Amino acid sequence: MSDETNQRPDDEHQPVEPEAGEPREQQDAPAAEDDSAAEAPAESISDEDLEALLDEGERDLLAEYRDIAARSQAELQNFRNRVERDRQANREAVIAEVIRSLLPAIDDLDRAESHGDLAEGSPLAIVAQKIRGSFEKYGLKAIGTKGEPFDPKLHEALVQLPIPGTETQVVHDVIETGYALGERLIRAAKVAVAVPAE
């Protein structure tokens, strides 16, 4: 009996495991809820919540930093646009300078063609066709056509011819063809202008 009495006090202090199928005590439930709350991931703080947590001075500083970032981004985009415009303008200027240096050769080909020296299928006619095709690929277009209205921005009048029946100034004859590269004038066309007779 002495052995049984010695074991009883110890048994009273040890936790009793529930038998299989028996529900756990209700005091364990709050502990489980606390564990699940501790394991829940923290939600990210939105900009509105962040501003609500900051005091007035910190909100002003945050707004200032955001303004600086927005201005910097706009300036960077403007810089990229300027670089692209300058790059395109430089490219067109270089092409225009190369074409301008070759215009005398094109004029010689035009004169040869007008005198019948560029027979169709001849080697020189093929070369002329390739040269003109290469320039047209870069957007080169001829300026000056007989009968079109005279435009001092595009035409250089070498002579004026009073012709009866003429109501406005028109191109009567093209002495030297002009050329433009896109919107850039490479050379004005030299023309004879028909003007109203007095």
Q: Which one of 15-19, 49-53, 56-60 scores highest in mean pLDDT?
A: 56-60
The separation between CA 135 and the C-alpha centre of its own chain, rounded to angstroms, equals 26
pLDDT exceeds cutoff 80 at 4: no
Mean pLDDT, the chain, whole residue set = 78
How high is the pLDDT of residue 30? 47
Whether pLDDT at 33 is above 60? no
The yes-or-no verdict on residue 171 having pLDDT over 90 is yes
3-state secondary structure of 53: helix
Strands of 131-188 (E only): list them. 140-143, 155-163, 170-176, 178-181, 184-187
Can you tell me the mean pLDDT for 167-175? 91
Would the pLDDT of 43 be above 90?
no
For residues 50 and 68, give the distance between their C-alpha atoms in angstroms, rounded to a whole number.
Answer: 19
Whether 198 has a pLDDT exceeding 80, the answer reads no
Higher pLDDT, 23 or 169: 169
Angle among Cα 8, 13, 18 to the nearest 5 degrees reads 95
pTM to 2 decimal places: 0.56
β-pair type (184-187, 178-181): antiparallel
Quick: pLDDT tens for 113-156: 888 888 888 888 888 889 888 888 888 899 999 989 999 999 99
Geometric angle at alpha carbon 125, from 97 and 114, rounded to 5°:
85
Query: Are β-strands 170-176 and 189-196 bridged in parallel, bridged antiparallel, or unpaired?
Result: antiparallel
What residue ranges define each of the domains in the chain, with the CATH number in brackets? 91-196 (2.30.22.10)
What is the average pLDDT across 43-56? 65
Averaged pLDDT for residues 170-174: 92
Say if residue 1's pLDDT is above 60. no
Give the tens place of pLDDT for each residue, 66-120. 889 999 999 999 999 999 999 988 988 888 899 899 999 888 888 888 888 888 8
Edge-to-edge order in the sheet of strand 140-143 = 140-143, 178-181, 184-187
Q: Average pLDDT in the 27-48 region?
A: 52
Tell me what the mean pLDDT of segment 23-47 comes to.
50
